[in-house]
Structure 1
Amino acid sequence: MYNNTIEDRKAMQRVICIMILFYLIQSYGAYPGLFGLPLTIYLKDNLGLSPAQLATFSSLIFTPWLIRPLYGIIEDTIPIFGYQFKSYFLICYTLATTVLLGLSGLQFNTVSPLIGGLILVNIAIAFSDVLTDKIMVVQGKVFNNTALLQAIQWTALSLGQALLYYIGGWLAQNSSLSIAFLLTAIVPFLGLIATIVLLADEKKQPKTGSFQRGLKSLWLGVKSRQFLTALGFIACLEFTLIPSLVNYIVYYQKESLNFDPQFIGILGTVEAVANALGAIAFGIFASRISRRWLLNLAVGFSVVSTLGLLFIYNMQSAILVSLFFGFFSIVAMLGVLEIAARACPVGAEGSTYAVFMSVYHLVKQPGTILGGYLYDRGVPVSTLVIISAVFTAFCWFLIPLLRLAQKPSL
């Protein structure tokens, strides 16, 4: 039973700081990173990549996010220098800082050095993200508030991206890719400082288990019916044949709509703000209303907002679609993330939750590649949007299988 003592409140405040800072580092450092929009436009305008080629490039550099369970097993079972978190964070942020500084000094005529460097950056940031998620799951169970911690994570991520997209739009229009990489290198460096300050009191611990035992714990965690259903839900929710709204505008609609890079960056900001508002709403109401009702409503509006892509014809309609899509997609996703977090077994929190997040990242990649190839071969973008909306609608059939309580548990 969690007692709300002064020590507990201080511990909770430290956990909240970790969630906010380290999720901001994830957003600004790699996913999508300060360099995200400048890189997309550079690949299109300078290196001449097609939509399918861009989707393939994005999938390659984000491959490290798809093997997150491996990172989870490693950090669940192998402390470094006696620390389960501090040493790993220091290694990750040092690697990311070094590689980004190296990229800032290069000139790119091919995609090869970009792919190699950005894979290393994403390995470092993805590993640090698994560590952050484990802290969330463990401490969320201690304080009986995983929903609040997840809402804080994604609010920080979304608000950070709101400013990120605006800065990225400005950099894409007024600066260079090298400057974008140089500015991004500051982000993991700040992570080094935050690690030293926020994890200064972490206690050393012995080796917690073998790699084989970690695999066994992972299997026990992910084979439950509820966890598998949650995986299916997030797969249907996130599968799409079209890229993110920003890339959708850049490749499919930029010429017809005549949006400049600065406004495209603003659109990303609007969507991120909507994500933040959705996360805040989830954090406030998750324990007060029926989770089943919340997910049904969120899925319905996600379908509508996806179809809304077909009706973007000016700046006002683009902003409206961004708001709807950003708000309701995050509510649906957080509802299932919280279920998954509570299903993680003790001792394998990092690896089990990482499986779920790997699926979250994985299902986006094949769809956008397939969508790019279909578009290159003459399939209308309207067809791609409709198919994507249908996959989102499949989530309705999975909600009953989650066995959610009719009333929220207080």
Structure 2
Amino acid sequence: MSSITTQNNDPPPPNTHFFTTKPKHNKTVILSTITQPFQWLQNLSTQLNPTFILGIFLIHGLQQGFTGSFFRVAADYYWKDIQKLQPSLVQIFAGIYFIPWVFKPLWGILTDAFPIRGYRRRPYFIGAGVIGTVSGTVLAAKGEMAAGVALACFVGVSASMAIAEVTIDACIARNSIEVRSLAPDLQSLCSFCSSFGALVGFVSSGFFVHRLGPQGSLGVVAVPPALTILLGFVIYERRTDALHNEKKQTFLQAVEGVGTKVRIMYKTMRHPQVWKPSLYIFLSLALSVTTHEGHFYWYTDPKAGPAFSKEFVGVIYAVGAFASILGVMIYHKSLKDYPFRTLIFYAQLLYAMSGVIDLFFILRWNLKVGIPDYIFVIIEESCTRITGKIKWMPMLVLSTQLCPLGIEGTFFALLMCIDSIGGLISKWGGGLLLHAVNVSRTDFTNLWVAVFVRDLLRFGTLAFVFLVPKKGQSEGLLPSELSGENVSSDGNVDEETLELVPPNVKNEV
């Protein structure tokens, strides 16, 4: 919303000054700045169903953002202080409880093809909430447990987040297709919510871990899934049998529907407009191996590292979450109109360069130039998070634009599965790299080697940017014949039951 001020060229009256109108102008600008985000949300709620916006806040903000960040800190301290495992093994464990994200296509197929009592979305929100609530409660209340049992509970918490995200992402993908001009805005809203939730989670995680201990604090992660159960009851959804006056779908018919969807997905993935950018997104994640656990152990080591406290580790991650919000704002305000290839190339370049700052910190060169550890780590975390978010935002928008209308939930889940496999390779690759250079709980001599190799791989990703299309972020990427076929190829494909776009908007599209 732009502010409008009245200008008067006449000379001011006696005993007055030119700057007397300035406070009014400043107040108008400040008011406009404050109200602009609310007007933006109101505009989204007007064009889309308000319960869908609520779902984004709860799933991306509370469960993915808050729970994911809190879970990350509490889990790191749990494995380090309670289970006393090596960082390379913890990195492998992190990959294991990331596996539910690899099964996103399965969750997507379930939500699209297997409605429960006529509902496609509500039961899966409820089921995801139950899994997360039970897993988080067991982690906090069971006391001493074997590492395998704890790992199973961590997998349960991760599965809860993955299923809930797939369910809401199916709705996001459909809205992005129906109203393409809102695709960047929807991804901005999701990232705003997740980044703000992560900020709150990281800020509070150090306090809870310090006061309740690593295991007791894990009970906090059971709260957001409980609210996801509530979302399953309140989100607006019409039953498929009531909407179409059809008999209840048999299991055999559902299986046949799955077969149809799989064939459409396979045919869609064979198109160069789809598999090329999908391949780039996969490579950009897989080649960016993570050495997070090595960094975490080094952060908290009193001899080799800077010996940061629990509270300050939470502050570091909180600053990173705030930097992610800045990255989203930069993208939303200035970058969402740039072509995919141009934006992704420069974003990847900046992301690779930010990793060099990380290398300087590991080698302690910051102390040689007089920058204290607690200041330099804030600089390093901020640069990495801002560039990482700017790099990831257009790839999310790109993924939504690759989804055929009618199977958008399943296909978006497939694309996110490909991304998750890339992330899994990144985590396990980082664990193997830490093990290969002999980084342990007490020996960090070669940690810089692992970081150096990681940075080289980030720069190497630039060689594959040619796979990304040159089109703008609001343009359709799928061939018209493919989109038309997907909608009509199966009688059940177009049965999207969640009313997320008002009829007048659908007609305009």
Q: TM-score, normalised by structure 1?
A: 0.89
Give, in angstroms, the shift of residue 226 of structure 1: 3.3
Q: How many angstroms does 1:362 deviate by? A: 2.5
What CA RMSD, in Å, does the superposition of the two structures yield over aligned residues? 2.6
In structure 1, distance between residues paired with 2:473 and 2:174: 25
CA shift, 1:146, in A, is 1.5
Map 1:256-275; keep pairs closer than 5 Å: 256-275=305-324
1:243 aligns with 2:291: yes
CA drift at 1:233: 2.5
When residues 409 and 72 of structure 1 are mapped into structure 2, their CA distance, relative to the original with a 3 A threshold, is closer
Residue of structure 2 aligned with 1:397, choices 449, 459, 463: 463
Q: Is the 8 A contact 1:140 1:149 kept in 2?
A: yes
C-alpha distance 381-86 of structure 1, shift in aligned 2 (>3 A): same
Give the aligned residue type for 1:368.
G
Q: CA deviation at 1:398?
A: 2.5
Matched residues in 2 for 1:152 and 1:175: separation?
33
Aligned partner letter, 1:274: A
Aligned partners of 1:109 and 1:376: how far apart in 2?
28
Q: Which residue of 2 aligns with 1:84?
A: 120
Equivalent of 1:371 in 424, 433, 450: 433
From the superposition, tell whether residues 227 and 402 of structure 1 become closer, same or farther in structure 2 (CA, over 3 Å).
Answer: same
Deviations 1:61-108 (A, max 9, x none): 221111111111221211111111111111221222123222221113
- Contact 1:69/1:352 (CA < 8 Å) preserved in 2? yes
Please state if 1:336 is matched with 2:395. yes
Any idea what SS the aligned residue of 1:392 has?
A: helix
8 Å contact kept, 1:108–1:114: no
Please give the secondary structure, in 2, of the residue aligned with 1:79. coil
Give the drift of 1:234. Answer: 2.5
Q: What are the superposed Cα offsets for residues 32-69 of structure 1, whole Å, 9 maximum, x if unpaired?
A: 4x343122112112222101110121112221111111
Is 1:161 the counterpart of 2:198? The answer is: yes
| Contact 1:76–1:214 (8 Å) recurs in 2 | no
Q: Are residues 1:193 and 2:241 paired?
A: no
1:409/1:223 CA distance change after superposition, 3 Å: closer
CA deviations on 1:331-388 (whole Å, 9 max, x unpaired) are 1112122112111112221222222222333222222221221232688222222222
Distance of 2:127 and 2:344 partners within structure 1: 39
For residues 97 and 321 of structure 2, the distance between their equivalents in structure 1, rounded to whole angstroms, comes to 22
Q: Which residue of 2 aligns with 1:380?
A: 446
Write the distance in 1 (CA, Å) between the matches of 2:58 and 2:155.
22
Q: Which residue number in structure 2 is paired with residue 308 of structure 1? A: 357
Counterpart-to-counterpart distance in 2, 1:406 and 1:196: 38
In 2, the alpha carbon distance for the partners of 1:90 and 1:190 equals 9
Contact 1:242–1:248 (CA<8 Å) still a contact in 2?
Answer: no
Cα 1:399–1:242 change in 2 (3 A) is closer
Deviation at 1:296, TM superposition (A): 2.1
Q: 1:82, 1:204 within 8 Å by CA — same for their partners in 2?
A: yes
Aligned-partner SS, 1:308? helix
Percent identity between matched residues is 17
Unpaired segments of 5 or more residues in structure 1?
none
CA gap of 1:373–1:253, structure 2 versus 1, over 3 A, is same
2:414 is the alignment partner of 1:352 = no
> Which structure has the greater CA radius of gyration?
2
Report if aligned partners of 1:271, 1:322 keep a CA contact under 8 Å in 2: yes
Which secondary structure state, in structure 2, belongs to the residue aligned with residue 394 of structure 1? helix
CA shift, 1:228, in A, is 2.4
* Conserved 8 A contact 2:280-2:468: no
Instruction: Classify the secondary structure of the residue corresponding to 2:328.
Output: helix
Q: Is the 8 A contact 2:336 2:473 kept in 1?
A: no
Aligned to 1:171: 208
Gapped regions of structure 2 (runs ≥ 5) = 1-41, 365-372, 477-509
TM-score normalized with structure 2 length: 0.73
Match of 2:111 in 1: 75
Deviations 1:117-144 (A, max 9, x none): 2222322221111111111000122222
- Could you tell me which residue of structure 2 aligns to residue 221 of structure 1? 268
Q: How many residues end up aligned between the 2 structures?
A: 402
SS at match of 2:291: coil
Partner amino acid, structure 1, of 2:263: K
Is 1:131 equivalent to 2:179 in the alignment? no
2:13 corresponding residue in structure 1: none
SS in 1 for 2:240: coil
**Does the alignment pair 1:361 with 2:407?**
no
